Amino acid sequence: MSININELTNSRDTVNRWMERFGVRFGVYKHGVFNEQLFPFDSVPRIIKHSDWEYLESGLKQRVTALNMFLWDIYHDKNIIKDGVVPEEFVYSSKGYMPECEGISPQGKIYSHISGIDLVEGKDDKWYVLEDNLRIPSGASYPMIARNVSRKVSPSTFASNAIADNRDYANLLRDMMDDMNDNRGIAVIYTPGRYNSAFFEHSYLAEKTGATLAYPGDLFVENDVVYYAGMFHEKTRVGCIYRRISDEYMDPMVFESSSLLGIPNIMQAYKAGNVALINGIGNGVADDKGIYYFVPKMVKYYLGEESILQNAPTYLPYFKEDYDYVIANIDKLVIKDVSEAGGYGVVFGSELSPEKLEELKQLVIKEPRRWIAQEVVEFKDLEIIEGEELVWRKADLRAFVVSSSKDVRVWRSGLTRFSRNPDSYVVNSSQGGGFKDTWVALED
């Protein structure tokens, strides 16, 4: 299938005007001051071939299913540790492992209801998973609203090409929330407020799903049940909370005691099974940098299948074989510090001076457990329009997988983020990157 996008790219000023009209923004803190910026949108879409998509879809479903099984296992029987597939030190030293979640059984055994899996397409035409985001992945609202605008501005582009409509993301969320809510009460999206970088998304998803947008102070717990408080002291029961604040701020009675964003005693309601939290608490243990290495092994362990999706080639100096390789090839690898606090971050061996490289090598020798190393994946660049010309830039794809107790569904789109800096691999929106819509072709 050949797709002609000229009409759409020619109307990019109109597209951008509409994006502004709808207030498509994200917040950035610079020198302690909060600023809302328009999220730069590039109208050249990333187009994924139908056959590629079928492969990605089955791989994503498999991966997220295994990750949810891993989370259940870690907070219950721990068989994967007992069977020696994942060494316990990688689990319990992870900042994301929360002993407070031991024995808590989320409905339908689902922890990660909304998973954001970051992938890149390599120059070898293969897709690689770079990172799993199982806590509060954001970004789905941007391609949704961009599609809405693009279809207005250039209807013929969509009339003549068979592209999966991505505006059904709200339906995916709504179905999942209904399943998790189980007729107990209302569903809410819980936002820390306007000064969160993804506030646009919180409010937009609330509008599109029909969930109530709740702010700190709106929800409270009484007798292990969560309620939404009305202006006349009336209350209504809450059955499911799609929360957009991190674990440590959720319950000041259990976690960070100074948190004013939380819902005191929510953990007791969660433990009693009276409210579904989307996503569950304690998911950080499964999207930890050190655990990433083991995800294909999890797929094999829990599902008895080979992993369809590949990780970027990764080494754990913790294992002797990998240790030798990393020490010998440190100048070619990407080295990541697993211990987050006061960490070394992510460094490219090729960019370090010989002295710095030697220093890093000594650190790896001293504490092998603390590091992972990856081959540099050569991404396939994508075209973007800069001024009047087309240029090539690094880009990744965040795919969204929605899991309920009934099924696992992959959203037929995704957030494609690109770096505006030609030399940078960093596609983060807070670093000045932009985004593209992701089109999934309905036929080859």
Partner 1 sequence: MRRYLYCYNTIVSFSEPIGNHEFLIRCLPVLGEYMSVEEEHLVLPPDYWKHHGTDTFNNRIVYGGNREPHSALAYVSTGIISMHPYRINNDSLPFSIWLQPTHLTTIISSFSFPPSLLDDTKLAEMSLMEKAESIMHNVNSYLSYVPFSTDVETTAQEVVESRQGVCQDFSHLMIAICRIQGIPARYACGFVEGTGETHAWVEVYDAHQNCWVGFDPTHDIRIEYGYVKLAHGRDAADCPVSRGQYNGFTNQQTQINVILKEV
Partner 2 sequence: MVKSFIISASKANQLYWLGRYQERVYMTLHQFRKCYDQMIDGKPEDYQAFWDKLDVANCYSSNEDFTLGMLYDENNPSSILSALNRAMDNAILLREDIFTETLSYIELSISLMKKCKLENKVDITLLQYITDWSLAFWGSAEQRIYNSRILAIMMIGRHVEYLDMMMRYNYDFKRISLGYKMLKKYLKELPASVDSNIASQLDALLTEEAFDLSNDEYKQKLIKYINQMMRI
Could you tell me the two tokens for 204? 């937009």
Using the contact rule CB under 8 A, the part of the chain among 44-52, 95-103, 174-182, 358-366 near partner 2 is 174-182
- Select from partner 1, partner 2, none the partner in contact with residue 223, using the beta carbon and a kind-dependent cut-off of 5 to 8 Å: partner 1
Q: Are 308 and 129 in contact (CB under 8 A)?
A: no
Q: What is each CA distance from 95 to 37, 261, 416, in whole angstroms?
A: 31, 21, 28
89 lies in the site for partner 1, by CB under 8 A: yes
218 lies in the site for partner 2, by CB under 8 A: yes
State how far the Cα of 417 lies from the Cα of 397, in Å rounded to an integer: 7
213 lies in the site for partner 2, by CB under 8 A: yes
343 lies in the site for partner 2, by CB under 8 A: no
Quick one: which of 13, 51, 79, 92 contacts partner 1 (CB under 8 A)? 92
**Ramachandran quadrant class, 418 (left: phi over 0; alpha: psi -120 to 50; beta: rest):** beta
- The interface with partner 1 within residues 335-364 (CB under 8 A) comprises 341-342
217 lies in the site for partner 2, by CB under 8 A: yes
Question: Kindly report the CA angle at 86 between 341 and 294, in degrees rounded to 5?
Answer: 75
Residue labelled with tokens 């009305």: 230
- The interface with partner 2 within residues 1-40 (CB under 8 A) comprises 20-23
In our burial notation (b when 16+ CB lie closer than 10 A, e otherwise), range 392-430 reads: ebbbbbbbbbbbbeeebbbbbbbbbbbbbeeeebebebe
Q: How far is the CB of 214 from partner 2 (least distance, A)?
A: 8
Rg value, the chain, Cα: 22
Using the contact rule CB under 8 A, the part of the chain among 124-132, 228-236, 250-258, 347-355 near partner 2 is 228-236
Residue closer to partner 1 by CB (options 219, 382) is 219
228 lies in the site for partner 2, by CB under 8 A: yes
Q: Are 262 and 249 in contact (CB under 8 A)?
A: yes
- Select from partner 2, partner 1, none the partner in contact with residue 100, using the beta carbon and a kind-dependent cut-off of 5 to 8 Å: partner 1
State how far the Cα of 184 lies from the Cα of 286, in Å rounded to an integer: 29
193 lies in the site for partner 1, by CB under 8 A: no
At 7, the amino acid letter reads E
254 lies in the site for partner 1, by CB under 8 A: yes
- Strand pairing category for 434-440 and 415-418: antiparallel
Quick one: which of 187, 198, 277, 372 contacts partner 2 (CB under 8 A)? 187
Q: How far is the CB of 88 from partner 1 (least distance, A)?
A: 6
Q: Which helix (H) or strand (E) holds 47?
A: strand 41-48
Could you tell me the two tokens for 344? 């070394």
State how far the Cα of 46 lies from the Cα of 99, in Å rounded to an integer: 41
Residues that bind partner 2 (CB under 8 A): 20-23, 174, 177-178, 181, 183, 185-187, 193-194, 199, 203-204, 206-207, 209-215, 217-218, 228-232, 234-236, 239
Residues that bind partner 1 (CB under 8 A): 78, 88-89, 91-93, 99-103, 217, 220-224, 252-254, 257, 260, 264-265, 268, 271, 341-342
